[in-house]
A and B are shown apart, each in its own frame.
Chain A
Amino acid sequence: MTTNVSGIRRLFTPIRDFFFEEQAPYGMALVRIFLPISIMIPMVRRFMHVRELFSSDGAPQPLYELFGQVNPLPPMAPQIAAALYGMLMIAMFCAVVGWKTRWSFLIATPLYIYFNLLDSVGTMTKYSVIASHVLIMLTLSNCGAVWSVDAILRRKELGAAATAVPPRFPIWQSRLIQLLFSFVYFGAAITKIQTEAFFSGEQMRYWMLSNWNYSNPIGEQMAMWTPVLLLAGYVTVVWEIVFAFLVWRPTSRLFVLAVGVMFHIMTCLTLGLYIFPLVCTSSYLAFITEKDIVALRRFAHKLKIPSSVLGIPPRVVAWIVDQRPAAIPAATLWLSAVVLAAVAAAEIEYRSDAYGIQANNGPLPLPTMDAATAESMIRDQKPLRERDKYFSFDVGTVLMGNQLANRRSEFTYGERIVAQCTLNIPHGDLWVECMIQDDQNRTVEHAGQFVTRDMLHANFAYETGNSLVPGTYSMVLKSSNKEVFRREFTLSGDPEKVPTMNEMMTN
């Protein structure tokens, strides 16, 4: 019996050590500093729109309604919404500097989730979901024990009894953030696997050409190279799956995290996502251990990097807090700051005159619209043009993953010319013809194929045999008997170098 008990204990020991090992909470302190800054960038932008987005005097769109459920968190009156928003902002600031850290997170976390839930159209995204998870862990952790106003004030309180050894706590909160990312990437990989046309690169291309996020000039360039997207798609999915297995191994941890940082930087450059990478990379700081901090300190010392500048904001706040009269407790000062922020936010929101009613002495007039323009939009019955059923038409020689990997306009004898049209879905079933015409528009070759409604591209291959003479030709694509694309190319070289082709064979 005793043997069984000790056996079970032995079984759980690694799990217990994994979650309850004690370390100084440096990693969580870094997350505490950088995550609120990242998520407050979009939230600060929304402050002047609190009435419209989050109050009963606007047009909030609670997430609960999208799921067909009764909203248990109704929007408040504009003054109350603005006051709560002010509390959210001051609580996030206090959390960053680590002043009354736990209380700050106890205010900031529910308010952040509440405001996000109120605007599922323009505020709630998956990055706010990830941030909400991490905020909950920060609330439960001891992230304010180091590099914070709280730590500075505690040291002052203790005076000579203060020790240079940082306090240590169980690390289960940072473990849960690490596990969260393993689940996030694994789930994201499953989504991609289930997404049709992800592995052909077309889906990525359409995302890169969508202007729904911020500017992404590199993504627009990459969108024209589908084979690169195809390769990137595979690499992303493989990395997302292996992340959960390799990030725990000391030998692969840094490599996997470095790839993760690169991946998020690429989503910024190619997809125009700005806040998502900031949220993820700042949450990655939860992977930092005590040992990493020692190594980083040594590295910073060697390179003479002034790392102490990071401590300036908490030291400044601690100094201000220290200037209070002795009769006023620090907690009262903090509470006063929160109340002041709430009142100030309500006043600013009121004075900002969100709907322009005060400045205009009444509501603004509704903008009129030209009747011809309005009617052309309301009564438009245009069928889809043949041209718009196709994304592009290119000519080259190399196929990669059934995608044209090069574009060429000059060919020599013996080469295989591949003409590829990529299609925009939805399109109906099509009969697509591809022709080679000479410089006098005489058709030399003519081929056709059915392109069904599910197809994203169609290829036409030609062997450049010796029945063509050197010169300029055109590859013409016809759809529903209409010419849609024409690409000129030149054929050069000596036709005698290739064996004579059977007359019945295609060029």
Chain B
Amino acid sequence: MQLRRWLSGLFIVSYLCCLTWGVTAHSLKYGLQGNTLSYFVVWDMFCGWQAFDNRTHIIAEGRSGQYYDVRPPWGEFTPFGNVPRVHYDVSNNLIPKHITNVLSHTTHEPIARVYVVQEIWAKQYNVPEPLWAKYFDEPRDKTSYFNVRAVLSERGAVLNSYPDWFDQQTLIAVSDNPRLQLAAQRAVPFYNTFIKPSQGAESASRTFQSTQSSELNSN
């Protein structure tokens, strides 16, 4: 009986320590990366929503040039409403597996490449028709923007990847600034092959001396 009480006490203390660690680590944004179990003690249920809605389209291009919709022909599973599962894959980890699964369970010609395309539209167009009529004077003119995120092989291997549409818009906004453009042009990144801190301070002088001695100095 006493042992059971002690074990219960130990469990209570350990459990409360885990919960405290979760809240503290989440508040300080420390120690959560690469730790799956942290998902069980971090309570980030409202972590921000974007002003634009997005969906993922997967288009396969056959060797004949025919395009295919890489969508399960046996029916898509919609986990939380009427949006298919693949659209919930915000980190794009599922997409290669989804492609492999659909292509391996369907008949088709050999596939040359598979495009992963983001579809984006402003969220005000999600407003139902009666609400639109009440709150918006303009005609409902929904436009979708498409952005290729990646090009993959038939087996789901990434051949090319491109920035996310949201990141791209931010980059456009930043690069639109002439002052920043000029600063970026001046600050050309380079990798110094002369100075190697791991070889000590004299490494640079040795490198320059050897250059001089071999008489290959372009000066």
Which residues of chain A from 60 to 82 have any CB-CB distance to chain B below 8 Å in the complex?
60-61, 63-69
Picked from A209, A374, A376, the residue with its CB within 8 Å of the CB of B124 is A209
Q: Are A453 and B68 in contact (CB under 8 A)?
A: no
Q: Are B48 and A195 in contact (CB under 8 A)?
A: yes
Q: Are B73 and A425 in contact (CB under 8 A)?
A: no
- Closest B residue to A125 by beta carbon equals B80
**Per-residue 0/1 for B163-197: is the Cβ within 8 Å of any A Cβ (1 yes, 0 no)?**
00010011011001100000000000000000000
Q: Which residues of A contact B126 (CB under 8 A)?
A: 209-211, 220
Instruction: Report if B216 contacts A (CB, 8 A).
Output: no
Q: Which residues of B contact A140 (CB under 8 A)?
A: 11
Which residues of chain B from 61 to 118 have any CB-CB distance to chain A below 8 Å in the complex?
61, 65-74, 77, 79-83, 85-86, 88-89, 91, 93-94, 97-98, 100-103, 105-108, 115, 117
Instruction: Report if B201 contacts A (CB, 8 A).
Output: no
- Closest A residue to B42 by beta carbon equals A187
Q: Are A188 and B43 in contact (CB under 8 A)?
A: yes
A202–B46 Cα distance when bound, in Å, is 13
Q: Are B73 and A188 in contact (CB under 8 A)?
A: no
Q: Are B39 and A63 in contact (CB under 8 A)?
A: yes
A499–B47 Cα distance when bound, in Å, is 51
Q: Are A426 and B80 in contact (CB under 8 A)?
A: no
* Given A52-B101, A187-B44, A368-B66, residue A391 in contact with residue B51 (CB < 8 A): yes
A271–B52 Cα distance when bound, in Å, is 17
Instruction: Report if B27 contacts A (CB, 8 A).
Output: yes
Q: Are A355 and B50 in contact (CB under 8 A)?
A: no
Instruction: Report if A183 contacts B (CB, 8 A).
Output: yes
Picked from A65, A123, A356, A377, the residue with its CB within 8 Å of the CB of B79 is A123
Instruction: Report if B34 contacts A (CB, 8 A).
Output: yes
- Closest B residue to A273 by beta carbon equals B80
Stretch of A172-180, A282-290, A324-332 contacting B (4+ beta carbons < 8 Å): A172-180
Which residues of chain A from 122 to 148 have any CB-CB distance to chain B below 8 Å in the complex?
122-124, 126, 129, 132-133, 140
Q: Are B59 and A183 in contact (CB under 8 A)?
A: no
- Closest A residue to B37 by beta carbon equals A67
Q: Which residues of A contact B72 (CB under 8 A)?
A: 52
Question: Would you give 7 A-B contacts (Cβ < 8 Å), ordered by A?
Answer: A52-B72, A61-B89, A69-B34, A121-B86, A212-B83, A220-B126, A424-B124
Instruction: Report if A207 contacts B (CB, 8 A).
Output: yes
Picked from A53, A357, A362, A426, the residue with its CB within 8 Å of the CB of B173 is A426
Q: Are A426 and B170 in contact (CB under 8 A)?
A: yes
Q: Are B107 and A377 in contact (CB under 8 A)?
A: no
* The 4 A-B residue pairs with the shortest CB-CB distance in the complex, in nearest-first order: A187-B43, A122-B79, A424-B51, A374-B67
* Given A183-B19, A368-B69, A378-B117, residue A53 in contact with residue B77 (CB < 8 A): yes
Picked from A58, A61, A187, A366, the residue with its CB within 8 Å of the CB of B23 is A187
Nearest CB in chain B: distance from A472 CB, A: 14
Instruction: Report if B136 contacts A (CB, 8 A).
Output: yes
Q: Which residues of A contact B86 (CB under 8 A)?
A: 121
Q: Are B106 and A380 in contact (CB under 8 A)?
A: no
Q: Are B59 and A196 in contact (CB under 8 A)?
A: no
Main secondary structure of the interface of B (DSSP, over half): mixed
Q: Which residues of A contact B121 (CB under 8 A)?
A: 388
Q: Are A210 and B49 in contact (CB under 8 A)?
A: yes
- Closest B residue to A423 by beta carbon equals B51
Q: Are A380 and B22 in contact (CB under 8 A)?
A: no
Q: Are B146 and A170 in contact (CB under 8 A)?
A: no
Which residues of chain A from 20 to 66 have any CB-CB distance to chain B below 8 Å in the complex?
20, 42, 46, 49, 52-53, 58-61, 63-66
Q: Which residues of B contact A191 (CB under 8 A)?
A: 26, 43-47
Question: What residues make up the interface of B, taking CB atoms closer than 8 Å to A?
Answer: 5, 8-9, 11-12, 15-16, 19-20, 22-23, 26-27, 33-36, 38-40, 42-53, 57, 59-61, 65-74, 77, 79-83, 85-86, 88-89, 91, 93-94, 97-98, 100-103, 105-108, 115, 117, 119, 121-124, 126-128, 131, 134-138, 141, 143, 145-148, 166, 169-170, 172-173, 176-177
Given pairs A52-B72, A378-B115, A429-B176, 14 additional interface contacts (CB within 8 A): A67-B38, A122-B85, A126-B44, A180-B19, A190-B27, A215-B81, A365-B107, A366-B68, A366-B69, A366-B73, A374-B61, A384-B145, A388-B122, A425-B51
A407–B135 Cα distance when bound, in Å, is 9
Instruction: Report if A478 contacts B (CB, 8 A).
Output: no
Instruction: Report if A506 contacts B (CB, 8 A).
Output: no
A197–B46 Cα distance when bound, in Å, is 12
**Per-residue 0/1 for A350-368: is the Cβ within 8 Å of any B Cβ (1 yes, 0 no)?**
0000111100001111111
- Closest A residue to B53 by beta carbon equals A210
Q: Are A170 and B117 in contact (CB under 8 A)?
A: no
**Per-residue 0/1 for A399-426: is the Cβ within 8 Å of any B Cβ (1 yes, 0 no)?**
0000000010000000000000001111
A220–B130 Cα distance when bound, in Å, is 11
Nearest CB in chain A: distance from B120 CB, A: 9
Q: Are B88 and A121 in contact (CB under 8 A)?
A: yes
Q: Which residues of B contact A126 (CB under 8 A)?
A: 43-45
Which residues of chain A from 180 to 195 have any CB-CB distance to chain B below 8 Å in the complex?
180, 183-188, 190-192, 194-195
A197–B119 Cα distance when bound, in Å, is 24
**Per-residue 0/1 for A214-226: is the Cβ within 8 Å of any B Cβ (1 yes, 0 no)?**
1101001101100
Nearest CB in chain A: distance from B157 CB, A: 16
Q: Are B88 and A212 in contact (CB under 8 A)?
A: yes
Q: Are B46 and A198 in contact (CB under 8 A)?
A: yes
A382–B3 Cα distance when bound, in Å, is 70
Q: Which residues of B contact A215 (CB under 8 A)?
A: 81
Instruction: Report if A206 contacts B (CB, 8 A).
Output: yes
Nearest CB in chain A: distance from B23 CB, A: 5
Instruction: Report if A385 contacts B (CB, 8 A).
Output: yes
Instruction: Report if A299 contacts B (CB, 8 A).
Output: no
- Closest A residue to B11 by beta carbon equals A140
Nearest CB in chain A: distance from B180 CB, A: 11
Nearest CB in chain A: distance from B50 CB, A: 6
Picked from A19, A132, A365, A392, the residue with its CB within 8 Å of the CB of B135 is A392
Q: Are A380 and B147 in contact (CB under 8 A)?
A: yes
Instruction: Report if A369 contacts B (CB, 8 A).
Output: yes
Q: Which residues of B contact A429 (CB under 8 A)?
A: 173, 176-177
Q: Are B68 and A369 in contact (CB under 8 A)?
A: yes
**Per-residue 0/1 for A410-446: is the Cβ within 8 Å of any B Cβ (1 yes, 0 no)?**
0000000000000111111100000000000000000
